Amino acid sequence: MIFGLIVINWTIITPSAQAEFCRQINSQQICITKIKRSAKNYWEYRAAVKIEKETRPIEIYDCRQRHRITQQGEIIPFKSDGVGKLICRVLNK
């Protein structure tokens, strides 16, 4: 009983930590703030990124087709040395 109360108090007091994965690419600070791999299509990632303090909403990064899909459904090809290549290169190892 006491152990259960300690665990409950610990989870209430302790904030959940969100770690960011950041890299410096072409003089820009690029951080992946949230990322989740698709269970169905293992080559796709849903990620939220921050580029120079500008946060993008969650977008789909397709490592097979080399493009990202915005929330509005717009398909944008990866830039050379951009966020998409960073996600695919680092996470597909």
Q: Give the pLDDT confidence of 17-75 residue by residue, as tens digits.
A: 456 788 888 888 999 999 999 999 999 999 999 998 899 999 999 999 999 999 999 99
Residue 16: predicted pLDDT: 40
DSSP assignment of 24-73:
EETTEEEEEEEEEE-SS-TTEEEEEEEETTEEPPPEEEETTTTEEE-TT-
Do the domain assignments include residue 42? Answer: yes
Do the domain assignments include residue 26? Answer: yes
Counting the structural domains of the chain, the total is 1
Do the domain assignments include residue 83? Answer: yes
- What would you measure as the largest C-alpha separation in the chain, in angstroms? 57
Query: Which structural domain, as residue segments, surrounds residue 58?
Result: 19-91
Do the domain assignments include residue 53? Answer: yes
Do the domain assignments include residue 70? Answer: yes
Do the domain assignments include residue 14? Answer: no
Do the domain assignments include residue 9? Answer: no
User: What pTM does this model have?
Assistant: 0.74
Do the domain assignments include residue 30? Answer: yes
State the pLDDT confidence band at 93, using cuts at 50, 70 and 90: low
